[in-house]
Amino acid sequence: MSALRSKAAVPFDTLEAAESATRGVVVRFFEYAGGLWYLLRDTLRYTVTLRFRPREVLQQAYFLGVESWLIVALTAAFTGMVISLETVEQAVQYGLQDFIGGSVAFGTLRELGPMLAGGIVFAGRGGAAIAAQIGSMVVTEQVEALQAMGVSPVKALVVPRVLAAVLMVPLLTVFADIIGVYGGFIMAYWRVHLPPTVYWHSVQTTVVTSDFVKGLIKAAVFGMIVALVSSYEGLRTEGGAEGVGRSTTKAVVVSIILIFVFNFVLSYALFG
């Protein structure tokens, strides 16, 4: 009888453990979301009241944006070339060569430019740098020194990086859009000898200004997400150098996940 009772009790124990794990996940999710919300609120408060140093914003813009141009250029060029490579031969085969340039530009301006160059590449380079910088300052007690002097870490560390990201990621996206479309043209000309006039006429007739502008709006949101998440993870760092590594990794992973989520939301809201 005792054996039967123990066997019958196993499903209840398993169910209770599953419920406890689920509650833990939900609690951690809302704690994380709440922490990001409070960080965003304080960042907006300091930004609206102009309580930040423009020089620090420019320094971060150079570090996060200008020094990222090479990896953005390479990513955008090969992305545009791949899109063109996958479509040109089939398009010519079915007599649709007039749509090659438009399809490359349409996908690049709406999705691939903001997501790859402005989001994922920036998260891997800029987001990791932000988390590592702030995390190193936390473990070396520099953040505590700022607080002891009455300086808010959000004002001194987070606001300049968020503003720099919001400014520079759209600029990187413009750069990526141009290079991606030109990369598609190079591949189309090389593979099927598509005349330049046909390619660029397709681009002009397919893409409208709103596609470009809405892509920049998405890029600005992605930049803000990466900077906020990376700063938040950096401020939560603990455990020395190993903790800095964990914070950096988590910042990149969470940023990329949120970029995919918000890309769907923004695409639905902006493009219907």
Q: What are the tens digits of pLDDT across the range 98-150?
A: 888 888 888 888 888 888 876 788 998 899 999 999 999 999 989 989 888 88
Tens digits of residue pLDDT in 248-269: 999 999 999 999 999 999 999 9
Tens digits of residue pLDDT in 82-107: 888 888 877 777 777 788 888 888 88
Q: What is the 3-state secondary structure (H, E, C) of 6-29?
A: HHHHHHHHHHHHHHHHHHHHHHHH
What are the structure tokens assigned to 126, written together?
């800029």
Q: What is the pLDDT of residue 11?
A: 61
Instruction: Give pTM, 2 decimals.
Output: 0.87
Give the confidence band of 1 by pLDDT, cuts at 50, 70, 90: very low
Tens digits of residue pLDDT in 201-228: 989 888 888 889 999 999 999 999 999 9
Let me know: does 35 contact 232? Beta carbons within 8 Å. yes
Residue 56 has pLDDT above 80, yes or no: yes
Count CA atoms within 13 Å of residue 220 on its CB side: 9
Amino acid at 88: V
